[in-house]
Amino acid sequence: MESKSKTLLMDTIYDIIGSIFLGMGIYSFAKNANFAPGGLSGISLILNYIFNLPIGTLTMTLNIPLIIISYKVLGKNFLLKSMKTIFINTIILDYIFPHLPMYKGLPITASIFTGIFTGLGCALIYMRGSSTGGIDFIVMSIKQKKPHLSMGQIVLVINTAIVLVGGAVYKNVDAILYGVVANIITTIVMDKVMIGVTDGKLLLIIIDKQYGKPLANDIFELIHRGATLMDGKGSYSGTSKEIVLCACSNVQISAIKSIAYKYDPKAIVMITNTNEVIGEGFVLPEMTAQ
């Protein structure tokens, strides 16, 4: 398995690269174009426009109450990891990007590239099991309490409200349209990088027999998803294999794959879409009868 020091190093590298992409999207493109994309970054841009306070510091400050509220739901490890990401993102936004040139072209072009770079940044950070905080904490907390709601529905409602507020503050209807464009492109880019957006994904992991149970335990402890173990046997080699069956959301795929390959670099991971997943963590059985 990957050592703790190597894991920390890789997490930090992904945090830095992801935060650079986020900084490009938020500071280099969105700020000067006067529109607010969704998320806590969008709220920070609005407050920056009104009070001229640093965007990164605003984002980190707004995250503090959300961290406190989400602590019991999301767990200590995830929140500590996210706090490190938020800190790195704050440093890059407030102390590096203010010294770099800003895009001063067409606002529609700025909204497109805001979406591209924000999507890339978020995807890289999510792939290491962390988050940029803010709306992520709210969405994940709501999802834990209301598992039948899709993450897309929750994000859509929250981001729509932020974009509308941005239009009112900037006193420009176009600001709403630019925010919508940026959000759509962010979602598309994240979809491409992280393999789909639907809540229902099915992973079939064929792994060496000795690693099946430890893998299932780690999936439960780190990702909070259950798994089913099935006996398997290679038709050519005749060696015994464990088949780990796990239903999850798209944001959890990369983390589960990483855990599997830590145990067995030769593991086979198959990912499929599922039209519907019924059970704990997804749609509750009694709700399907309504």
Query: What does the pLDDT profile of the chain (290 residues) look like in tens digits?
Result: 557 888 899 999 999 999 999 999 999 999 999 999 988 999 999 999 999 999 999 999 999 888 887 777 777 888 888 899 999 999 999 999 999 999 999 999 999 999 999 999 988 998 887 888 877 777 777 766 776 665 656 777 888 899 999 999 999 999 999 999 999 898 888 877 765 444 568 899 999 999 999 999 999 888 788 899 999 988 888 888 999 999 887 778 888 998 999 899 999 999 887 755 666 555 545 433 33
One-letter amino acid for residue 135 of the chain: I
Could you give the 3-state DSSP secondary structure of residue 54? Answer: coil
The model's pTM is: 0.69
pLDDT score, position 165: 95
Of the candidates 194, 201, 223, 199, the one whose C-alpha atom is nearest the C-alpha of residue 149 is 199
d(CA 105, CA 96): 21
pLDDT score, position 89: 95
